[in-house]
Structure 1
Amino acid sequence: MRVGLIVDSACDLPYWFSRRNGLFVLPVTARIDDQTFVDDHDPERTQEFYDSGLLEKGHHAETEPFSAQEIHKLFMEKIVNNYDVAICETVTRSRSLVYDNAMLAMNSVMSEYRRQQQESGSDGNFSMRVIDSKQIFAGQGLLAAHTQKLIDEDRHSKNQLRYEVDAFADTIHTCVIPRDLHYIRERARRRGDKSVSGLVAFLGKALNITPVLFGKGAEAKPAAKTRSFEAAVEKAINYAIGRVEAGLLTPYVSLSVGMSWPEIHALPGLDRLKETCEKNGVELLLSQMGITSCIYIGPGSLCLSLGAEDHEFADFQ
């Protein structure tokens, strides 16, 4: 059974991982000032954005998911003839229209794929599932890595695979460290999202407070407050190290950062996290935050996700 995994460009994963496993990235349109770009996770394009400063404050940046018609076209051209089963995991439905548009596209694909097969001289059944990952950024990347692991094991039916993916999504814990709360507040305001209040943004600016947001999936709440970004990063890294040593439900830790690679490698505690992961047979999926993710949360931010039994952030400090 040929199983293809599709993610959208809000999913943060190392480029080498996506290439090695043949993941198909569903693009998102990024509009920055008067320029329009397609974010398809091309690493050179991503680095150009970081180098150009287009993701910094002062530029009007928005993202827009591909329409159902555009997704339908991609599925028909790139997916139908190459796989027996396709799994499309989208950024959380509560924060984007990608899931809804992908569902519409899937329904139209399922009603038309046989005609395309006949025209191309191919045959066989094709099935597809669109899954709301309930995650953002590194969390979505972690779910994709775990899904690919299940696919590689090749011991699950398509229905079992869907069940396993849904169940694992509910075990993903995520830390987010925003570099600029005002940036998040302004982006949320444009989307009609009131999850970041003006008061929190004001305090972060006036008192130089950097929070560590923690929770399951996209529903994170302040778990710690620090006086610097570096101190917040150390808390998140210490948490991850403690949780890795206590045991994980999948052998991955996903970490994405909205910085240049030299800045990423200089993060406090990163070497300790790498050593702990290697010692415990865990693969650290370290990536530069994609354009879509960076527009959403702001340049300089950090997102860390892992799969584990229920716990609190403070349990590993």
Structure 2
Amino acid sequence: MQETTILADAACDMPRAVMTELGVRTIPFRIRAGDQFVADTRDEDALPSLYEKYLVGKQDHYAESIPLVERELEDHLLKHVVASCDRALLFTIASTRSRLYAHATGAVIGTAARSVRLRKEAGRSGLFDLIVIDTGAIGPGQALIVREAARMAADGADARAVVEAVETRLRDAAHMYLVPDELLYMYTRARLKGEDSITWGRYMMGSAFNIRPIIHMHRGRTGAVAKVRGSDEGRRRMLAHAEQCVRNGSLLTPAISVCFAGPLDIVRAMPAFQSLEHAARAKGVELMLAPMSLTVALNVGARAFGLSYLSEEPPPLA
């Protein structure tokens, strides 16, 4: 029987303890700030200081996240993966948001060809098999898809069944909601990337009246679905919406994922989070809370809040 390893890139906002429990391993991103580089490996201990260094008060946006290119991915897999298993399933951030999926698919043949000697030295026969799957999600949505895939693999599902579940069922059910705290950060970031998610007019109006958008991501596409007075109210509405999904049985899988680009104790202290936590426990739903990856946070700013669930027919955001 072939051994399969589950891989996810560093944009996957899964708590480190859950990743360890499920045996999920991380593919890093690079963070570039001027002529300096740092690796984003989802090191939860390091993230608070990285937020301070690259996010807080950094409206000039000199830092950016860059995916590894094909040869770098091959080198990483050869060093860390190919000798310890026969196959890897790599679940990437949405291809609409990053070039990682394209780079990883380009690294499939090279990784297999270069793995022969290393695998032979490790006592393994046959070529290494790398399968790359576009989750169509980011952050907490990606985490839920990876969680379900890892649980299926742990329960004995073969690689084909896992990939089919993601591509025919899980990917289409992934819904992510996000509310930013710093509108100026999001405005200047969107302008640099040529996006119109927040225009100058929307930024000025939002700043004047403390209005924040609630952004919804589904199937790799994003758009504002509501406006709220302040980021605190946005977080409360998103958490209340998730609790409604729990209570009315709308979830496809018994899990909800929450992430925050700041101290997690702020989230834990929120009455709406505590209410969701109570409802989730009563219904047997796992509530995952994780620091937002630097790769995702660089696009939405400090203290941004994200929440995801998998549902084929979710209720409307109230």
- TM-score band by shorter chain is over 0.9
Q: Secondary structure at the match of 2:153?
A: helix
Partners of 2:215 and 2:226 within 8 A in 1: yes
How far is the alpha carbon of 1:157 from its aligned partner? Answer: 2.5
Instruction: Say which is worse superposed, 265-274 or 33-42, in terms of deviation.
Output: 33-42
Structure-to-structure mapping, 1:108-147, within 5 angstroms: 108-147=110-149
Contact (CA 8 Å) 2:93, 2:134: kept in 1 or not? Answer: yes
Question: How many angstroms apart in 2 are the aligned matches of 1:83 and 1:117?
Answer: 9
Find the aligned partners of 1:75 and 1:35 in 2 and give their Cα distance.
24
- Is the partner of 1:43 in helix, strand or coil? coil
User: How far did 1:31 drift?
Assistant: 2.3
Partner of 2:16: 15
TM-score normalised according to structure 2 size: 0.92
| Aligned residue among 271, 280, 284 for 1:281 | 284
Q: Secondary structure at the match of 1:92?
A: coil
Unmatched tracts of structure 2, length 5 or more: none
Alpha-carbon separation, structure 2, partners of 1:41 and 1:105: 22
Q: Which residue of 1 aligns with 2:212?
A: 210
Q: Identity across aligned pairs (percent)?
A: 26
Contact (CA 8 Å) 1:233, 1:267: kept in 2 or not?
no
* Rounded Cα–Cα distance in structure 1 between residues aligned with 2:227 and 2:194: 26
- The answer to whether the 8 A contact 2:112-2:129 is kept is yes
Which runs of 5 or more structure 1 residues have no equivalent in the other structure? none
Question: Would the alpha carbon gap of residues 268 and 129 (structure 1) be closer, same or farther in structure 2, given more than 3 Å must change?
Answer: same
In the alignment, residue 286 of structure 1 is paired with which amino acid? L
Question: What TM-score comes out, normalization by structure 1 length?
Answer: 0.92
Q: Give the distance between the partners of 1:141 and 1:195, measured in 2 at CA.
A: 24
2:312 corresponds to 1:309: yes
Aligned pair count?
A: 313
Q: What is aligned with 1:57? A: 57
Q: More displaced, 26-35 or 234-243?
A: 26-35
Counterpart of 1:267 in structure 2 is: 270
Once structures 1 and 2 are overlaid, which stretch shifts more, 304-313 or 191-200? 191-200
Quick check: 2:174–2:309 contact (8 Å CA) kept in 1? Answer: yes
Q: How far is 1:125 from its partner?
A: 4.9
State the 1:16 CA deviation.
0.7
Change (3 A) 1:150 1:250: same
Aligned-pair CA distance for 1:48: 2.1
Q: Is the 8 A contact 2:260 2:290 kept in 1?
A: yes
Q: Is the CA contact 2:22–2:151 (under 8 Å) kept in the aligned structure 1?
A: no
Aligned to 2:161: 160
Q: In the alignment, residue 177 of structure 2 is paired with which amino acid? A: C
Give runs of aligned pairs for residues 19-98 of structure 1, distance below 5 A. Answer: 19-32=20-33, 35-50=36-51, 52-58=52-58, 60-98=62-100
Matched-pair contact (CA < 8 Å) for 2:14–2:143: yes
- 1:144 positional shift: 0.9
Task: Specify the code of the residue in structure 2 equivalent to 1:207.
Answer: F
Contact 1:233 1:268 in 2 (8 A): no
Offset of 1:164 from its aligned partner? 0.5
* Partner residue in 2 for 1:4: 5
SS in 2 for 1:75: helix
User: Is contact 2:22–2:147 with CA below 8 Å preserved after alignment?
Assistant: no
**1:35/1:266 CA distance change after superposition, 3 Å:** farther
Greater shift, 289-298 or 107-116, is seen at 107-116
Pairwise CA RMSD of aligned residues? 1.8
CA distance in 1, matches of 2:48, 2:301: 15
Greater alpha carbon shift after TM alignment, 256-265 vs 111-120:
111-120
Residue 53 of structure 1: how far off its partner (Å): 4.5
